[in-house]
Amino acid sequence: MAAFAPGEELVLYATIPLALNAVVKLGALDEIADSVLSASEIVSRITNNPSANVAFLDRTLRVLATYGVVNETVVQGERKYGLSEIGKRFSPGTKLAARGLSVMCNHRIFLKPFEHLAEGILDGGEPFRKAHGKTAYELVAEEPEFNNSFNLCMADHSKRSSAVLLDCYKGFASIKTLVDVGGGNGALLCDIRTRYPHIKGINFDQPHVVSQGIASEGVEHAGGDMFGSIPQGDSIMLKWILHNWNDEQCLKILQNCYKSLPAQGGKVIVVEVLLPSEAYQAASEFELRIGLLLDLVMMVNFNGKERTFEEYQALAEQAGFNKVHLVNVSNGLAILEFHK
Structure confidence by residue, pLDDT tens digits, 147-161: 888 888 887 777 777
Does 192 share its domain with 78?
A: no
Q: What is the band of 1 on the pLDDT scale with cuts at 50, 70, 90?
A: very low
CA distances from 18 to 13, 64, 105, 140, 277 (A): 9, 11, 9, 21, 33
Specify whether 161 is located in the same domain as 55: no
Phi, psi of 203 (to 5 degrees): -90, 115
**325: annotated active-site residue:** no
**What sign has the CA pseudo-torsion 122, 124, 125, 126?**
positive
From 58, 54, 35, select the one nearest 43 (Cα to Cα).
54
Give pTM, 2 decimals.
0.88
Map 270-316 to HEC letters.
EEECECCCCCCCCCCHHHHHHHHHHHHHHHHHHCCCCECHHHHHHHH
pLDDT-derived band at 2, boundaries 50, 70, 90: low
Whether residue 68 is predicted with pLDDT greater than 70 in this model: the reply is: yes
Q: How many CB atoms lie within 10 A of CB 215?
A: 8
What pLDDT band is residue 273 in, cutting at 50, 70 and 90? Answer: very high
Which structural domain range is residue 200 located in?
Answer: 153-339
% of the chain residues with pLDDT over 70? 98
Output the CA torsion sign for 145, 147, 150, 151.
negative
Same domain assignment for residues 199 and 310: yes
Q: What is the rounded CA–CA span in Å between residue 130 and residue 67?
A: 33
* Beta bridge partner(s), residue 29: none
Statement to judge: residues 82 and 158 lie in one domain: no
Distance CA(61)–CA(17), nearest Å, equals 12
Q: Quote the CA–CA distance of 228 and 116 in Å, as a whole number.
A: 31
> Do 178 and 279 share a domain, yes or no?
yes
Q: Could you tell me the CATH number of the domain that includes residue 237? A: 3.40.50.150
Secondary structure (DSSP) of 48-84: --TT--HHHHHHHHHHHHHTTSEEEEEETTEEEEEE-
Of the three residues 88, 112, 130, the one that is the final residue of a domain is 88
Are residue 57 and residue 191 in the same domain, yes or no?
Answer: no
**Closest listed residue to residue 205, CA positions, set 168, 158, 266, 247:** 158
**CATH code, 47:** 1.10.10.10
- The stretch 203-225 carries a mean pLDDT of 92
- pLDDT-based confidence at 94, cuts 50/70/90? low
**What torsion do the CA atoms of 275, 281, 282, 283 make, to the nearest 10 degrees?**
-160
- The total domain count for the chain is 2
Q: How far apart are the C-alpha atoms of 316 and 248, rounded to whole Å?
A: 12
Q: In what order do the strands lie in the sheet with 219-223?
A: 219-223, 200-205, 177-181, 235-239, 267-272, 333-339, 323-330
Looking at residue 141, its pLDDT comes to 82
**Active-site position among 157, 243, 325, 339:** 243
Q: Which residue has the higher pLDDT, 259 or 142?
A: 259
* 3 is a domain residue: no
Strands, E, within 76-136: which ranges?
Answer: 78-83
Pairwise CA distance, residues 235 & 308, whole Å: 23
Tell whether the model's pLDDT for residue 103 goes beyond 60.
yes
- Name residue 23's amino acid: V
| 12-52 tens-digit pLDDT | 899 999 999 999 999 999 999 989 999 999 999 999 999 99
% residues pLDDT > 90 (the chain)? 71
Predicted pLDDT of residue 96: 60
The answer to whether 235 and 200 are in contact (CB under 8 A) is: no
Residues linked to residue 201 through DSSP beta bridges, in sequence order: 178, 219
Q: Which of 88, 116, 141 is the last residue of a domain?
A: 88
Q: 157 and 74: one domain?
A: no
Residue 142 pLDDT: 87
Lowest mean pLDDT among 82-96, 123-137, 185-199, 312-326: 82-96
d(CA 148, CA 12): 29
Stretch 95-105: mean pLDDT, rounded? 81
